[in-house]
Structure formats: structure tokens, C-alpha cells
Amino acid sequence: MSRLRASLLLLGFAGLTLPLMPVQQLFVWFWPRMARRFPMHYHRAVLRILGVRVRVDGEALKTGPAILAANHVSWLDIVILSSVAPLSFIAKRDVNGWPFFGSLARLQRTVFVDRERRSSTGASRDEIASRLNDGDILVLFAEGTSGDGARVLPFKSAYFAAAETLGVVVQPVSIAYTGHRNLPMTRRLRPIYAWYGDMGLPPHLWAALAHGPIEVEIVCHPPLCAESDRKKLAQNAESTVRQGLVDALHGRPKIR
């Protein structure tokens, strides 16, 4: 039964996605405003197909320039966050070369950064600043990698430098995988959805589709005051996201 479920969900996803990819490409070329908003509606439809129920605690920023600083648990984070607001992502450059998923990332106007080469950091920062100057909302998975969904890893401060630009705000966002089939998510089940370490993407994706549906909580914290020191800004965002995750996993979400 689980194999049948996964197969049907993949067919539904492909049936929705493949016809809409050229539509979004046209928006990117000729209608930038719609290119920002269209992925939000598309990802809401994807969540319905996959059986992912999202609860939003607080209110996500709807206009930029802004950075959403979030913890990173799974490839599902992309779909979940994009369903909440019109936004784009900051991702490692490797994603650009992934079959199919790299194309989806480009269509969502992802900013690709090379974390391994210091010489590219300045160019990446300039691109991020340019997008923020255009009024975009960018998602920064500030841990620099994905985690197990039960804790928040230390935030990297390097790309918080873009928040020093006048008028750019940082909103901490906690992502918590809280439920499975209307029951609390257990430690045993969480690795089915949390994609981290050396897990291969295709088998992980298949297992996640086969075992749903699930419930996810998004805690949108109040935007942080601008800090002259990006390291302090990263620390404040990290502590806020960590507390939001703990509260959500224990059933006591609270906006701080």
C-alpha cells in the first residue's frame, strides 16, 4: 500500500509540475512580479497532493527586502516555506547542477552560493544585496546544512552581512515536523522526513512519500532589530529559532 501511495503521489506531482514549469519560465522572463508570487500558489497545491498539513504560528513577512533565517530539516522545507510567502532561497551552488530539482530551484530564482570558495563569497554577497534591493524576500538556511529536526545547529554569520543593508529586516522562522497521521511525530519516524548527513535523496524522497501524511508547524517570529554586528544578529536569530523549535515540538508554540 505504501508503494502505491508513493507512486500515485509522484504521478500527481509530475502531472502538476511539468506543465507549469514553462509557465513559470515565461513569468521569469516577462513578468517578474508574477514570478515571485506564482511559486507560492504552486507549492500550496503540491502540499495538498503530498498530504502535508502546515500550521503557521505568527505571520510571515509578505514584502521585502527581508531575510527569513530558518533551521533546515528536509527538502520539504522548500515546499513548506514557499507556500507561506512569495520568496526565493539562498542555496549551495551544488543544487544548481541537480537533475530536475536544479531546474525547479532556478525557476524560483534561487541565489546559488559557493560556501567552499572564499573568492566567490563577495560575488554571492553582491547578488544577495542586489536581490534585496529589488525588494525580494530571501530564505537563508543559516545552519549551512540540514539537521535531524530535533535540534538547531549553530547559525553561520557570513551571509547575515546582507542584513546590514539599510531597510533589510531579518525574520527568524522555526520549522518543526510535529505530527504523523494525526499523531505526534516520534524520534523513530522523524528521520523518514528529516534529510541530513549522507542520506541519498531518491530513496529518502520515496520513503517520505510512502509514509505520510504529516503535520508541520512554522513559527514566524517577530523581525529582529538591525544589529551593527552580524555575528550578534546571527546569534539572536539562532536562539530565537531554537526556542521556537523546542516549543513547537513540545506542543507549546509561543511567539517571542
Supply the pLDDT for residue 119: 47
The contacts of residue 12 (CB under 8 Å, 6+ apart) are 49
CA-derived radius of gyration, the chain: 17
Exposure string of 223-234, with b = 16+ CB inside 10 Å and e = fewer, is ebeebeebeebb
pTM for this predicted structure: 0.91
Q: What average pLDDT does range 10-39 have in this prediction?
A: 96
Confidence of residue 149 (pLDDT cuts 50, 70, 90): confident
Where are the domains positioned within the chain? 2-249
Which strand (E) or helix (H) includes residue 246?
helix 230-249
pLDDT digits (tens, 9 = 90+) for 59-84: 999 888 999 999 999 999 999 999 99
**What is the rounded CA–CA span in Å between residue 155 and residue 140?**
10
The chain-wide mean pLDDT, for the chain, equals: 88
Nearest to 159 by CA among 116, 113, 95: 113
Percent helix, strand and coil across the chain, each rounded to 5?
Answer: 50, 20, 35
